[in-house]
C-alpha cells in the first residue's frame, strides 16, 4: 500500500513537471499569480490568455540553431 502511494505520488510529480515544462499549466499559474497581485481585477479567460501569451512569447529570440 505504502509503495503504491509512493508510486502514485511520483507519477503526479512527473506529470506536474511535464505540465510546467511544456507550458500546459500556464493558465493555472497565471490565475494563481493574478489572484495574488491583482485580487480585485477580473482575470482573462483561458482562450484569451492563451492568445495573448502566444503572441507575446514570440516577440524575441526563442530558438537557437
What does the block give as the cell for 13?
A: 510529480
Spatial distance between the Cα atoms of 23 and 13, rounded to a whole number of angstroms: 15
Question: Are 27 and 49 contacting, i.e. CB atoms less than 8 angstroms apart?
Answer: yes
Give min distance, CB of 9 to other proteins, in A: 17
Helices then strands, each counted (H, E), the chain: 3, 0
Number of residues that bind other proteins (CB under 8 A): 33
Contact between 8 and other proteins per CB under 8 A: no
Contact flag: residue 39 with other proteins (CB under 8 A): no
- Measured from the CB atom, the residue of 4 and 36 that comes closer to other proteins is 36
**Nearer CB in complex with other proteins: 8/57:** 57
Amino acid at each position: 500500500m505504502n509503495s503504491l502511494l509512493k508510486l502514485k505520488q511520483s507519477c503526479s510529480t512527473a506529470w506536474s513537471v511535464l505540465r510546467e515544462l511544456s507550458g500546459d499549466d500556464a493558465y493555472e499559474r497565471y490565475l494563481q499569480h493574478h489572484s495574488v497581485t491583482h485580487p480585485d481585477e477580473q482575470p482573462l479567460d483561458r482562450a484569451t490568455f492563451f492568445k495573448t501569451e502566444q503572441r507575446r512569447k514570440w516577440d524575441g529570440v526563442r530558438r537557437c540553431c
